[in-house]
Amino acid sequence: MEETRPVKIQVRSLSKVFGKQPKKALELRNQGLNRSDILEKTGQTLGLSNISFDVFEGELLVIMGLSGSGKSTLIRCLNRLIDTTEGEIIIDGENIPTLGEKALLECRRRHFSMVFQNFALFPHRTVRQNAEFGLEIRGVDKVERQKTAQTALTQVGLDGWEEAYPNQLSGGMQQRVGLARALANDSSVLLMDEAFSALDPLIRKDMQQELIQLQSKMQKTTVFITHDLDEALNIGDRIVLLKDGEIVQIGTPEEILTKPADDYVRRFIEGVDRSRILTAESAMRPVRTTARDSDGPRTALHRMRDHSIDSIYVTDRDRRLIGLLEAEMASSAIEAKSETITNHLTQDFRKVPPEEPLHNLFAMFSDKSFPIAVVDEQQRLLGVVVKGAVLDELARAGEQ
Amino acid sequence: MDIPRIPLGTWIENGLNWLTSEYSLVTRGIARFTQTGINSLNDGLMWLPEWALMAMIALLCWKVASLRLAIGAVAGLALIWNLGLWDPMIETLTLVVIATFVAVLIALPVGIAAALSERLYRLIMPMLDFMQTMPAFVYLIPAIPFFGIGSVSAIFATVIFSMPPAIRFTTLGIRQVPVELIEAADAYGATRRQKLFKVQLPLSLPTVMAGINQTIMLALSMVVIAAMIGADGLGSEVWRAIQRLRPGDGFEAGIAVVILAMLLDRLTQSLRKTRR
């Protein structure tokens, strides 16, 4: 399915050596020596080795790795802030490593906008002038670039801050300016180099959320660098996992989590602090009342009235969940002179295991407002989650 | 065994003689041109009544710096006027202004070039060391055959002596622009020129201004010394006081120099601070 999507950037057997005799280092690598051997023998660092991957049109690709994995080098090779040693990077038919000086400038202007870890805003320019920078470089006329910059600033929620200087803004707002500068440029690819890593956790989550929203609206091809697995899993359509300058695994977040390529990835996933991941259990409330399958419709309706609810979960004698009874259905059962409720149950509700991640529950509330049932492996009803509780729990987690 | 003395002095003299004879047309031209500049600025400043110039300087101090500096400037200038040193003060000011102007005009492009090219940087830095550590008087000697006795020679020597800090600070200012800002400019496809004018120069401006401040101070100290080769101004008042052994006159002229120095220093420093 993915393979049919148009490819925006093709990276093929890309390598980068930091040192004076890169050919020699690559020769040694081809003989099968590893990074530290090459460093010892030649004093040169093999920054990236034989990297190949595609970036699909409109996807958010996360390149993730620990420090020293080569991820910052890799993103800088894409727009050639760092020259590559060998390999191809093809964007719209152009091979970036072989472009002449003029063509390279043109290519950077047309294709790439970059957001930096430490914002890299120009301190002598106002917020608006910062947002205009890319357009100004391209020679767009003043009226038009002001308009475009304003739109971008509105998109990131910086209305009213146009005339401020970067040092008057908080870190989160500064990075919004960085993002606006990139968006205003309207290039075909967005490069984000640890864009949220310098922000505190709360603001970081917000920014991730906003990026996801922007992304769903704009479908901009984005390459996002991070060292944080949580972040990668949260925002990435696909993840490229780097280790010591080589690719360990490429896949969707689910694939990385469920089918780790090797022990390194497995250890990485285990490294995720599980206590910080919120589950359905943490937001679950005990069920105030349930109906039994042996109850008649009148009894069930009576219980609903007592607790002012308009639907009730129905269990069997082992507390196994068998269905949901709505108040209307109970009334019609009474009218139909039915003695039992089992024929009037609906299965149109959601049930989740207690370890279900909390953010998954959000989507489930959209259709009907029944509380979500939390059941164990034996289908026993453990509790329910109502919409407000999810929000509460997320907010409280944010405060910590 | 006798090691023959290296005739370094003779070589330099021969070189200077050759320069003087070959380029006398050029140096005369420069001398005439510069002299005209000095004269017109001098005449202009002296044509103004003392109180009018004082008022203008006070206004400038107030606008650029503070009311305090404006009051100080008026008091200092009034003292100079009262001591009868107004005209020499104007002459000194003229020399400083012109020498600084020429020095900065040369220093800015050279400083920028040295910041952008590592090779030029390595070439220029030892030259600056030479220019700064060579005793200032030595520049006065070749200035005379080039430009004759008087103010033009004084300006020549002053420019050479006072230029190094402006070059150094310009280079420093551009080199200390954070790499990530250069990277950001590159990432958006800026040409070298765009990078220089939109990022490097604006960000190095405070440092460049500090260099210009230093240049002005050095220029002031040099134009005083240049009285030895016939430059007019406060320096020649001091020089005359030395020759006649009149410490009172000497100190009066010296105090006038101090007042002028403080005024110029505070003014250029606050110019630097008002910039972002």
Give yes or no for residue A400 having a pLDDT over 60. no
Residue A273 has pLDDT above 60, yes or no: no
Q: What is the rounded distance in angstroms from the CA atom of residue B47 to the CA atom of residue A311?
A: 99
Instruction: Count Cβ atoms below 10 Å from residue A214 Cβ, excluding itself.
Output: 17
Backbone Cα Rg of chain A: 27
CB contact under 8 A, B180 and A165: no
Q: Are A5 and A56 in contact (CB under 8 A)?
A: yes
Q: A222: helix, coil or strand?
A: strand
Q: Which pLDDT score is estimated for A272?
A: 58
Q: Is the pLDDT of residue A3 over 60?
A: no
CA-CA-CA-CA dihedral for A34, A37, A43, A48, to nearest 10: 10
- Residue B178: list chain A partners with CB under 8 A: 120
Q: How far from A18 is each of A104, A315, B114, B167, CA to CA, in Å?
A: 21, 67, 26, 33
Report the b/e string of A49-83 with b at 16+ CB within 10 A: bbbebbbbeebbbbbbbeebbbbbbbbbbbbbbbe
Choosing among B181, B188, B198, B205, which should be mutated to test the A contact, i.e. which has the most A CBs within 10 A? B188
Tokens linked to B222: 């040099």
Q: Tell me whether residues A120 and B180 touch, CB distance under 8 A.
A: yes
Closest CA–CA distance from residue A180 to any residue of chain B (Å): 13
List of chain A residues whose C-beta atoms are within 8 Å of the C-beta of residue B188 = 108-109, 113-114, 133-134, 137, 185
**Contact between residue A397 and residue A278 where contact means Cβ atoms under 8 Å apart:** yes
B271–chain A nearest CA distance, Å: 16
Interface membership of B47 toward A (CB under 8 Å): no
Query: In angstroms, how far apart are the furthest CA atoms of chain B?
Result: 72
pTM: 0.73
Backbone angles phi, psi at A55, to 5 degrees: -110, 120
The shortest CB-CB distance from A81 to any of B183, B202, B203 is to B183
Please name the member of A112, A116, A138 whose beta carbon is closest to the beta carbon of B180: A116
Query: A105-125: per-residue pLDDT in tens?
Result: 999 999 999 999 999 999 999
CB pairs under 8 A between A and B: 58
Instruction: Grade residue A36 by pLDDT with cuts at 50, 70 and 90.
Output: confident
Are A185 and B187 within 8 A, CB to CB? no
- Comparing CB atoms, the residue among A109, A122, A123 nearest residue B189 is A109
Sequence letter at residue A341? I
Do the strands A311-315 and A321-326 form a parallel or antiparallel pair, or are they unpaired? antiparallel
pLDDT in tens, B180-198: 999 999 999 999 999 999 9
pLDDT tens, residue by residue, A303-347: 888 887 888 888 888 888 888 888 888 888 888 888 888 888 888
C-beta atoms of B194 and A137 within 8 A:
yes
Query: CB of B192 within 8 Å of any CB in chain A?
Result: no
Instruction: Return the number of other C-beta atoms located less than 10 Å from residue A331's C-beta.
Output: 14
The residue of chain A with its CA nearest to that of B194 is: A137
CA distances to A15, A36, A66, A240, B185 from A45, rounded to whole Å, are 11, 8, 17, 21, 27
State yes or no: pLDDT of A1 exceeds 80: no
Written as one string, the DSSP assignment of A133-148 is: HHHHHHT--HHHHHHH
| B110-134: burial string, b at 16+ Cβ within 10 Å, e else | bbbebbbeeeeeeebeeebeeebee
Residue A81 is nearest to which of B178, B186, B276, comparing CB atoms? B186
Non-local CB neighbours of B132 within 8 Å, separated by 6+ positions = B161, B164
Question: What single letter denotes the amino acid at residue A300?
Answer: A
Please give the helix or strand (H or E) that residue A2 lies within, else none.
Answer: none
For chain B, state the CA radius of gyration: 21
Using the predicted structure, report yes or no on whether residue A367 has a pLDDT greater than 90: no
**Measured between beta carbons, which residues in chain A are less than 8 angstroms from residue B187?**
79, 81, 108, 112-114, 191
CB distance A105 to B189 below 8 Å:
yes
Look up the ipTM and state it.
0.76
Element spanning A10, H or E: strand A7-18
Cα A220 → chain centroid: 14
User: Which helix H or strand E contains B148, and what residues bound it?
Assistant: none
Contacts of A185 in chain B (CB under 8 A): 188
Of the candidates B185, B191, B195, the one whose C-alpha atom is nearest the C-alpha of residue A134 is: B185
Q: What is the dihedral of CA A175, A176, A180, A183, to 10 degrees?
A: 80
Does B188 contact chain A (CB < 8 Å)? Answer: yes
Greatest pairwise CA separation for chain A in angstroms: 91
* Strands ordered across the beta sheet of A94-95: A45-56, A7-18, A86-91, A94-95
Residue B190 with chain A: CB contacts under 8 Å: 105, 137
**C-alpha span between A29 and A86 (Å, rounded):** 13
What pLDDT, on a 0 to 100 scale, did the predictor assign at position B137? 81
Binding-face residues of A in 127-166 toward B, CB within 8 A: 133-134, 136-138, 165
Closest residue, chain A, to B205 (C-alpha): A124
pLDDT in tens, A122-176: 999 999 999 999 999 999 999 999 999 999 999 888 999 999 999 999 888 999 9
Among A118, A124, A137, whose Cβ lies nearest the Cβ of B188? A137
Instruction: Give B218's contacts (C-beta < 8 A, 6+ positions apart).
Output: B161, B162, B165
Cα(A206)–Cα(A208) distance, integer angstroms: 5
Tokens of A90: 């093809």
Q: Do B276 and A165 touch (CB under 8 A)?
A: yes
In single-letter form, the type of residue at position A198 comes to: A
The C-alpha of B266 sits at a distance from chain A's nearest C-alpha, in angstroms, of 24
pLDDT recorded at residue A399: 47
Side-chain half-sphere exposure of A354, counting CA atoms within 13 A: 14
Q: How far apart are CA A350 and CA A247, in angstroms?
A: 39
Contact A120 B183 (CB under 8 A): yes
